[in-house]
Amino acid sequence: MNSRIIPASIDYSNQLNPEQLQIVKEAEGPCLVLAGAGSGKTRVLVYRVCYLMERGVPPSSIMLVTFTNKAAREMIGRIERITGAYPGNLYAGTFHHVGNRLLRTYPEEVNIQPNFTILDEEDSCSLIKEIVGDLRNREDFPNPGKIKNVLSLSANTDESIKEVIETRTPVYSNLIPHIEMISREYQKRKNRSNLLDFDDILLYWHRLMKNENVGSKISGQFRYILVDEYHDTNRIQSMVLYQLARTHGNITAVGDDAQSIYSFRGATINNILDFPRMYPNARTFYLKTNYRSTPQILKLANSIISQNRLQFHKNLRSVRENGIKPVVVKCYYSRDEAAFVSQRILHLLESGIKPSDIGILFRSRYQSAQLEIEMNKLRIPYIMRGGLRFFEQAHIKDVLAFFRIMVNFNDRLAWKRLFSISPGIGEKTSGILLGKLDGAGNLKEYARLVESEKPSSRAKQSIENILTILESLREEDISSSIESLMTKFYMGYLEKQYKDFTERKEDIEMLKSISLSYGSLADFLSESSLQEYSRGEQSQSTERIPVILSTIHQAKGLEWKIVFVIGVSGNHFPHPYSRSDSKALEEERRIFYVAVTRAKEDIYISYHVRDIFGPLLNRKSVFIENIPGHVFEEWDFS
């Protein structure tokens, strides 16, 4: 492919604003580019590569590190369109993509074979499951995915397994020696089979860069290191980049500390905050001109983030004309909040706004449940970005399976679901147990028939637990029954099975809240089933792209004309875990900031003042309380 050096022909002054132009032309040595939301950071990276190529730097001497391979492909496409030259030898892609290429080039230096295979997450969990299966008392261990998450955090944060568990998952503190042993065996089996997982790519790459001869050679090969989304890097990635720049210091890190929101994945805001210390001669550039949002929305965003102590202070400026003030909406219950949002969206759609121009954002997954019910009632088309709808989630279906059996004793799918989450009941035993339903009309008859099969002790215990719980559930008090079910059976399963069990528990708390709105169990189950039916019904329509529902984390990098941020209540956002941790509280505020900066023209921020399932009086979030009143309008829907 054509990778020729291009002639100097690009009119940079006409394509870039003064802030962008300065970076493109002057970013030599270590440079930190603090790029505010909607300020054109991708444009800067693309034109910086073009500028370097114009001045004779071969693409093979440039490394462009992005957080998705899609972003890298799009940037390369733009470079080719601008220059007329395909940068064929440019190293561009994610950390894992670039690291994989280098490890296959220099495998001997880190004692691996060049034909190594990369394990995906499913393969990694399967191998860990195999290791756990070889241990005694394996029922005491958490789900393999949770163990893999601990090992991954240890690798990416450069912390020991002990440190990770004590600070992030202290519930596993008694298992630290066992998980350390699993880690050693996991590494041994990978080595034996010439396997690397995603974390190994970064670890081996770092080891490669620390090799005096090869590390210097690689650093010398890539004279310019450009990094996108630097605020989302973890500790090991930062260490790799430091080694890459060690011979020349030409690293340009582009990011926004105000959008650092992925600490739960191991990312750390310290990388961007400490950049000037890591690179003492670093220059700092600012991109403050925002092309996305109106001045009114940016005034709100600037006011929100100004409350944080750990940050590079900057005020975004809009190039757009004046718009309307943001609106903060007070509601009473969460169902009132859902009613306001769905009715407002219906009004917007009827006035000609396209569904694809509307985004609904929330801090935690459970906060969309009431809204989904209301939107389905009004037949507003929507999709859930990056995940299942509320009533489609496995843990919600698990809980509802108990109640389905209460209404319909012969619901085989519900029985099968309960058997599948019960220890000691495999497919064969499940088939036998399902067969016994034909001869039973109630729980007592069924228990007698099952007893005659003489199941194993583990299976027998699980069956007794299920039957005991079913007998204790009360149709007239669904919420209390869900609480009892959680205490007696399901909480233990959640904690062992899911690494995000805290969020799933919150979903079930919301299910309790929703159940209080229904006079009968049959109505409650019918409503939950209709939510799934509505998805199938809407998926048949291609007439219009639906409204997007998304967690704020999933929405990062996206934008809509009109944004609704729901559930900004004191008990929900900031998340309760951050109340006693100032750093966590600041990250919660950054999450709110990210939500607000997704909006182009209009934004509604809603909260409710009472939780149905809790006696405590709620209130608006402290994040709203800290915003000057003149920045927004306040509506009362309570």
What is the distance between the alpha carbons of residues 321 and 129, in angstroms, rounded to a whole number? 57
Helix (H) or strand (E) holding 538: helix 521-539
569 touches 592 (CB < 8 A) = no
Which of these is catalytic: 19, 197, 200, 228? 228
Residue 335 CA to residue 375 CA, distance in Å, equals: 11
Residue tagged active-site, from 43, 436, 598, 620: 598
Q: Which residues pair with 361 in a beta bridge?
A: 550, 565
HSE value, Cβ hemisphere, 13 Å, CA-based, for 429: 21
The answer to whether residue 283 is catalytic is no
The question of whether 532 is a catalytic residue gets the answer: no
Listed in sequence order, the residues at least 6 apart from 134 whose beta carbon sits closer than 8 Å to its beta carbon are none
Catalytic residue among 19, 41, 268, 299: 41
Q: Which of 233, 259, 268, 311 is catalytic?
A: 259
**Distance from C-alpha of 225 to C-alpha of 81, rounded to nearest angstrom:** 22
Alpha-carbon torsion (235, 236, 239, 244), positive or negative: negative
DSSP-derived secondary structure letter, 620: B
The C-alpha atoms of residue 417 and residue 405 are separated, in whole angstroms, by 11
CA neighbor of 638 nearest in space, from 339, 396, 293:
339
Q: Where are the alpha helices (DSSP H) in 245-333?
A: 270-273, 275-278, 295-305
Q: How far is CA 372 from CA 338, 342, 391, 537, 627, in A?
A: 8, 9, 9, 14, 29
228 is catalytic: yes
Q: Is 104 a catalytic residue?
A: no
Two tokens at 111?
């004692």
Instruction: Judge whether 372 and 405 are in contact, CB under 8 Å.
Output: no
598 annotated active-site: yes
CB 546 within 8 A of CB 538: yes
Query: Distance between CA 447 and CA 467 in Å, rounded?
Result: 8
**Residues 6 and 54: beta-carbon distance below 8 Å:** yes
How far from 45 is each of 23, 518, 633, CA to CA, in Å?
A: 9, 54, 38
First-to-last alpha carbon distance for the chain, in angstroms, is 64
Q: Of 200, 229, 507, 587, which residue is the catalytic one? A: 229
CA angle 512, 518, 522 (to 5 degrees): 100
Are 551 and 542 in contact by the 8 Å Cβ rule? The answer is: no
- Cis peptide upstream of residue 144 (ω within 30 degrees of 0): no
Which positions ≥6 away from 121 have C-beta within 8 Å? Answer: 145, 148, 198
335 is catalytic: no
For residue 133, what are the CA distances in angstroms to 140, 180, 424, 492, 498? 11, 16, 14, 19, 18
| Backbone angles phi and psi of 395, in degrees to 5 | -70, -30
**Catalytic: which of 15, 22, 25, 42?**
42
Residue 172 dihedral angles phi and psi, to the nearest 5°: -100, 15
Round to whole Å and give the CA distance between 269 and 230: 9
Give catalytic residue positions: 41-42, 228-229, 259, 598
